[in-house]
Structure 1
Amino acid sequence: MNLKSSFLKSMVLAIIFALFLLPVGAANGDVDNGTEVEEEVVENVENVENTESTGEAVEEEAKIISLSLEESIEMAVENHPDIAVAIIEHEQAKADLRKAKRDAKSIKDLKEQGLPGLYTYDTYLAERVLPKTMEMLEILADKGLDFKKSLLKFQAENAYYDVLKAESELENATDSLVRAKEQLRLAQVGLDVGVNAQADVLGAEVLVASQELTVSFAKNSLKQAEMDFNNLMGLALDDEVKLTSVFSFSPIEFNLEEIGEMAREKDLTYVQLNESVKVQEAAFDMAKGYYTPNVLTYQAAERDYEIAKLKLQNADQNLDLKIRKAYLNTETAKEGYALMEKSVEQASENYRLTKLRHDVGMATLLDLEKASGELDKAKTELVAAVYDYNLAATMLQHGIFDLDGMQ
């Protein structure tokens, strides 16, 4: 009896142990020979692939760079090598000025010690005029750095407007192509019902081909403008950039007096001549204290001083002339925009009415093509007017009064 009981206990323990070894659900007959496991593995692999694909898509999307006009200007100033070169040149000019001042102080100290041979004219030049010359060069280097920044800001804004203008021209060319295709459709319909001749269809086909070529040219112009912009920004030529600022007409009120004051602080030619007058004045003052008027050195210093003053006077007048011309350019461009805006409005309405008359047989296909061409021309001139005004206003804002020094 005890033996039988022990045997039963052993059997029960063996069964329990076997149940623990079975997969979950096997005791209920739920095992399906690993099919669910395989499906789960496949699903996990697909999830990994989808994740990788999503990551690649995000990476591709991240390559698009969005830039406002202000961000573009800041990027150009930060990345352009001309600025780095100008900074180095300014630092060198400051070092030269410090050296000239140290040398002048050394000469003065030696004189106070009674060292002989330090009272020549050349020594006086090194002591009194050379520091002023080095100071002039330091000021010019500093103003040169400011001018290059202003020039880069202008170039960045100009390049930005070039892209926006090219985008507008491509949009207008695409709209023209759509209208040309519609005119071709109408010509074919008219031919089918016996209203138009085959020549009308051929003319419409030529117009479509011409507009397709215009679209191709516009795409090429846009691509070139984008590459020029990227190059100025320090980006790769193939980088895709999305410009977020709008190409629009925003008139600015300018104060000629304030612009004149700014120009005399920033214009390199004027600043150089103004500083040159100071140097030549110092040289002449020293010559007067060392020589009599009948000495050639005295006379040469006096002539140099008078020439410097005359050049500054001439530069002052030329600067005023440049400012007024630049201002007149903005006013002319402003008036041109107002005129072109009305022209687009008139051409759009004329095209709409001509199309309505054509639809009821009161206007020919040639009339419709003419109205479409006038609308294209008006839109192109409006884009050009916006560009011209923005360019003229930008020149005044950044103190660039002509394009002679831009290359």
Structure 2
Amino acid sequence: MNMRKLSMLVLCLCLFSSPLSAEDFLTVEKALELAYDNNPVLMASLSKEEQARQQIAQVRASRLPQLGVSLAGQFSKDATTYAVLGPTGVPTGNVAAAGWQNAFQAALSLNWLLYSSGTVPNAIKAKELALKGVQAQSVRTGQAVENGVRKAYYSLQRARAKLLVAQEALDLAKEHLSQVESFYRYGVVAKNQVLRVQVDVSDGKLNVIKAENAVEVGWSALERAVGTALKDRYTLPESETSVSDRTVPEDPLSAAMIYRPELVALEYSRQSALSMAKSAAGTRGPQIGLQGQLKEVDNSFFPSDNDDWTVSISATWTFFDGGESLAKEREAKAAAQELVHSIEDLKKQISMEISSGKLNLESALQRIEVARDQVASAEEDYRMALKRYTANVGTNIDVLDARVSLSNAKTQLVDAVYDTYTARSDLEYAVGSSGKFILKSDS
């Protein structure tokens, strides 16, 4: 019994003795679900949104009344006095206290900016627009995580498929070595043919080792993309040799111009910059504020007598601030104009990504059929080369070359299949398509 049949028997016994449930298999959909809960990049994007919300709260606080309390004490060497004058204005020699030697004051203060010439409202609007931009960018972050998980999953499955090809090639090489050694024992072939096949077996073992290492690297990459350990918890389904979905989007560019979150994020950033420009211009206008204070003063702690209150309304207007507000306004407008150019550049980049993604998908789909035909031809060529060699009408080199061609054909089929999956994922990412991370309408 050869190694391939033995490994298949062991696998069947393991499956029969300990059946796996559907939840034990790690599909690409399952990997995505795990990433939604464990990927740190997604968690970081949520924290970034919360930062933007708190920035809005900070700006809004400036238009609300500010309340505060204070407690103060004043200590003097002597109490302040003044001379007492008589009816004729002549000092009588007596003195009167003008205050206390020690004084304590407790006060409740109110400050309220009633009118800011648009400074505060425009600053609030700028922060609200900035939050929408951050949320749009979070959508794109989610789409990037999805694409990363899919590509890591397909890369792992590609590595597993190539490992299977390498193991099959090694099994064929060992079978052929057994045949050549038998021929050598009976004097049918020379020793050099045995040595050549032994070298081929060693080369097959090295290829298996490399393929096993690629599988381990693939597991590590997938675990990083998902954000949690996977290898010891899940079993992967068999690698695929065909693709069921062979459709290609007809007009992905138009969809990308609608669904790409970066375009929306940049537009929100541009509008935010314009609002900041208006806010900076508002600082040159009049500012009206309300101040109030309720206080109690006494010569003992805690003050409980001699209460007083004051209310005042003040208006200030800075006619000239050295050009600071004007510079801030111009800076914000320049930032908005920069974003206009960035949007145009992004549109060109999206067009290039869509074109490249669509071509890669079409090319990969076409390669699948060619690779399948190539595998069928290579299998028949190897079968015939082996029969000719067994009948002593073919050479050992023909068998070795045919086996190399068969391994290459199977490897190219694996690459074509998983290049298709990867290209489709890249194209969906370029379009901005996602079932979970989608832009929210303003309505």
Give TM-score, length-normalised by structure 2. 0.65
The answer as to whether partners of 1:183 and 1:365 remain within 8 angstroms in 2 is no
Work out the CA distance in 2 between the residues paired with 1:81 and 1:144.
Answer: 16
Q: Find 1:250's aligned residue among 237, 240, 244.
A: 244
Which runs of structure 2 are paired with 1:119-198 in the superposition (5 Å)?
A: 119=117, 124-128=118-122, 130-198=123-191
Q: 2:42 aligns with which of 76, 83, 97?
A: 83
The structure with more helix, counted as a fraction of residues: 1
Aligned to 1:312: 343
For the 8 Å contact 2:120–2:279, the answer to whether it is kept is: no
SS in 2 for 1:243: coil
After superposition, residues 207-218 of structure 1 pair within 5 angstroms as 207-218=200-211
Give the counterpart letter for 1:279 in structure 2: S
- Using the alignment, how far apart are the partners of 2:186 and 2:238 within structure 1? 49
Change (3 A) 1:245 1:147: farther
Task: Answer yes or no: is the 8 Å Cα contact 2:382–2:399 preserved in 1.
Answer: yes
Question: What aligned pairs does 1:320-359 form with structure 2 within 5 A after superposition?
Answer: 320-359=351-390
CA contact (8 A) 2:42 2:142 kept: yes
- For 1:236 and 1:246, how far apart are their aligned partners in 2? 21
d(CA) in 1 for partners of 2:198, 2:148: 41
Aligned partners of 2:238, 2:429: CA distance in 1, in Å? 19
Q: Identity of aligned pairs, percent? A: 22
CA contact (8 A) 2:243 2:417 kept: yes
Give the aligned partner of residue 290 of structure 2. none
Higher strand share: 2
Distance 1:300 1:231 in 2: 41
Contact 1:340 1:378 in 2 (8 A): yes
Find the aligned partners of 2:243 and 2:335 in 1 and give their Cα distance: 49
- Once the two structures are overlaid, the 10-residue window that deviates more, 195-204 or 84-93, is 84-93
In structure 2, C-alpha distance between the alignment counterparts of 1:98 and 1:279, rounded to whole Å: 16
Structure 1 Cα separation of the partners of residues 26 and 237 of structure 2: 6
Change (3 A) 1:348 1:78: same
Equivalent residue number for residue 11 of structure 1: none
CA distance in 2, matches of 1:86, 1:164: 29
Give the aligned partner of residue 230 of structure 1.
Answer: 223
The answer for the alignment partner of 1:44 in structure 2 is none
- Give the residue type in structure 1 aligned to 2:372: E
Verify: 1:398 aligned to 2:392, yes or no: no
Tell me the CA shift for residue 92 of structure 1: 2.5
1:75 deviates by 0.6
The residue type equivalent to 1:333 in the other structure is A
When residues 170 and 303 of structure 1 are mapped into structure 2, their CA distance, relative to the original with a 3 A threshold, is closer
Counterpart check, 1:364 vs 2:395: yes
Q: 1:241 aligns with which of 207, 224, 234?
A: 234
Whole-Å Cα distance in 2 between the matches of residues 396 and 227 of structure 1? 25
- Provide the rounded CA distance (Å) in 2 between the counterparts of 1:287 and 1:101: 16
* Matches of 2:228 and 2:280, distance apart in 1: 55
Q: How far did residue 200 of structure 1 move?
A: 0.4
Distance in 2 of aligned mates of 1:82 and 1:138: 18
CA-CA distance at 1:237 after TM superposition: 6.6
Task: Figure out how many residues of one structure are paired with residues of the other and give that number.
Answer: 329
Answer with 391-400 or 360-369: which moved more: 391-400
Q: 1:142 to 1:304 in 2, by over 3 A?
A: closer
> Are the equivalent residues in 1 in contact too, given 2:375–2:409 (CA < 8 A)?
yes
1:377 Cα offset (Å): 0.8
Change in Cα spacing, 1:381 to 1:262, as seen in structure 2 (3 Å) is same
Q: Is the 8 A contact 2:130 2:269 kept in 1?
A: no
The 1:238–1:347 alpha-carbon spacing in structure 2 relative to 1, beyond 3 Å, is closer
Amino acid aligned to 2:164: E
How far residue 198 of structure 1 moved from its aligned partner, in angstroms, is: 0.5
CA separation in 2, counterparts of 1:238 and 1:305? 48
Structure 1 residue matching 2:37: 3-state secondary structure: helix
Q: What's the CA shift string for 1:290-326, capped at 9, x where partnerless?
A: 89xxx97576665554433233222222222222211
Instruction: Could you tell me which runs of 5 or more consecutive residues in structure 2 were left unpaired when the two chains were aligned.
Output: 1-16, 67-110, 286-322, 433-443
Distance 1:84 1:372 in 2: 49
8 Å Cα contact 1:330-1:389 kept in structure 2: yes
Decide whether aligned partners of structure 1 residues 165 and 126 sit closer, same or farther in structure 2, where only a CA change above 3 A counts.
same
Q: CA offsets per residue over residues 50-92 of structure 1, 9 Å max, x none?
A: xxxxxxx98x989x94222211111111112222222122122
Return the TM-score normalized by structure 1.
0.70
Instruction: Specify which of 23, 26, 29 is matched with residue 67 of structure 1.
Output: 26
For 1:6-17, list aligned pairs within 5 A: none
Paired letter, 2:43: A
Task: Say what the alpha-carbon RMSD is for the aligned residues.
Answer: 3.3
| Aligned 8 A contact 1:260 1:323 in 2 | no
- Counterpart CA distance in 2 for 1:300 and 1:86 is 28
Question: Which amino acid in 1 is paired with 2:165?
Answer: N
State the distance in 1 between where 2:234 and 2:203 align.
29
Aligned residue among 395, 400, 417 for 1:386: 417
Contact 1:251-1:334 within 8 A present in 2 as well:
no
User: What is the alpha-carbon distance in structure 2 between the residues aligned to residue 347 and residue 72 of structure 1?
Assistant: 35
Aligned residue number for residue 270 of structure 2: 277
SS class of match (2:232): coil
What residue ranges of structure 1 are gaps of 5+ in the alignment? Answer: 1-56, 402-407
Helix, strand or coil at the partner of 1:253: coil
